[in-house]
C-alpha cells in the first residue's frame, strides 16, 4: 500500500469558491492538495488557503494549462487530478491510487445521469473512439485520475485546453501504458456553473478540442 505522503491532489479551478470547502473537506487523510487558480474572479484562492491547500496561479486560460501547472508544482511520486466543483467524491481517489500498484494510469468512470444529454453523447462518442482505435478500456473522459508524476511529465502532454485528458489517454496508449478504469461516484456540482457541460457552446468547444487531438 502506497504511503499517503507520496500523493498530491491537483485541483484546477476557476471560480469554485462555493464548492471548494466541501471538496477539500473530503480529501483523503494525508494527501497534499495543490489548487491551481486559473483566473478566478471570486474568492477561490482565499477559500483554498483557508482550508489548508497550497495555491498556485496560472494566468494562461485552459484546463490543460491549469493541470500542467499543478503537475510542475507537485513534489510527490504520485499525483491525482480532481475537479473542484463538488461533483465527485475525493475519497474515490484512494481506489485510483491503489490501482497504480498494477497500472500506469488509473482513471475514473463516473456514474451516469447527472451531465446534460449533449455532454453525455459527446463523452460516449469519444470514449468509443478510444476503445476501438487505441484499445483503451475506458468509457469516460472524466477529470479524475491518478498517475506517477515523472512518467506523466515524460509523456509530454502538450494540450493546454479541454483536450488535455484525451491527449493524455492517446499518448498513454502509444507509449504502451497499462490503463485501468475504476467506477467513481458522480453528483450534480455543488455550486457555480460548469465551463464545459454547463452550456451547449461550452460542450461544442470542448468536443472540437477533443477531435483535434484525435
Rounded Cα–Cα distance for residues 51 and 70 (Å): 18
**Number of Cβ atoms within 10 Å of the Cβ of 205:** 15
Count the residues in the chain: 214
pLDDT of residue 200: 56
**pLDDT tens sequence for the chain (214 residues):** 555 568 999 999 999 999 999 999 999 999 999 999 999 999 999 999 999 999 999 999 999 999 999 999 999 999 999 999 999 999 999 999 999 999 999 999 998 765 667 677 778 888 988 999 999 999 998 779 999 999 999 999 999 999 999 999 999 999 999 999 999 999 988 887 765 544 556 556 666 666 566 6
CA 53, chain centre distance (Å): 17
Find, among 118, 86, 104, the residue nearest to 185 by Cα. 86
pTM over cut 0.85: yes
pLDDT of residue 114: 59
Rounded Cα–Cα distance for residues 29 and 153 (Å): 26
Rounded Cα–Cα distance for residues 51 and 49 (Å): 5
pLDDT of residue 119: 74
pLDDT of residue 198: 46
User: Is residue 163 within 8 Å of 170, Cβ to Cβ?
Assistant: no
CA 199, chain centre distance (Å): 19
Question: Which residues have CB under 8 Å from 42's CB, separation 6+?
Answer: 15, 16, 17, 18
Amino acid at each position: 500500500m502506497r504511503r499517503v505522503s507520496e500523493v498530491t491532489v491537483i485541483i484546477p479551478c476557476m471560480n469554485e469558491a462555493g464548492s471548494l470547502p466541501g471538496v477539500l473537506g473530503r480529501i483523503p487523510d494525508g494527501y497534499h492538495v495543490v489548487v491551481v487558480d486559473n483566473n478566478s474572479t471570486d474568492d477561490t484562492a482565499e477559500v483554498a488557503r483557508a482550508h489548508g491547500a497550497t495555491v498556485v496561479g496560472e494566468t494562461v486560460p485552459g484546463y490543460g494549462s491549469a493541470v500542467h501547472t499543478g503537475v510542475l508544482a507537485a513534489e510527490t511520486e504520485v499525483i491525482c487530478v480532481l475537479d473542484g466543483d463538488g461533483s465527485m467524491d475525493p475519497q474515490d481517489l484512494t481506489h485510483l491510487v491503489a490501482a497504480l500498484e498494477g497500472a500506469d494510469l488509473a482513471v475514473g468512470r463516473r456514474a451516469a445521469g447527472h451531465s446534460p444529454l449533449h455532454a453525455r453523447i459527446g463523452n460516449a462518442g469519444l470514449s468509443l473512439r478510444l476503445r476501438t482505435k487505441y484499445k483503451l478500456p475506458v468509457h469516460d473522459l472524466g477529470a479524475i485520475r491518478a498517475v506517477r508524476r515523472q512518467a506523466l511529465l515524460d509523456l509530454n502532454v502538450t494540450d493546454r485546453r479541454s483536450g488535455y485528458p484525451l491527449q493524455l489517454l492517446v499518448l498513454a496508449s502509444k507509449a504502451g501504458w497499462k490503463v485501468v478504469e475504476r467506477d467513481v461516484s458522480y453528483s450534480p456540482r455543488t455550486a457555480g456553473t460548469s465551463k464545459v457541460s454547463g452550456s451547449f457552446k461550452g460542450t461544442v468547444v470542448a468536443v472540437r478540442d477533443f477531435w483535434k487531438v484525435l
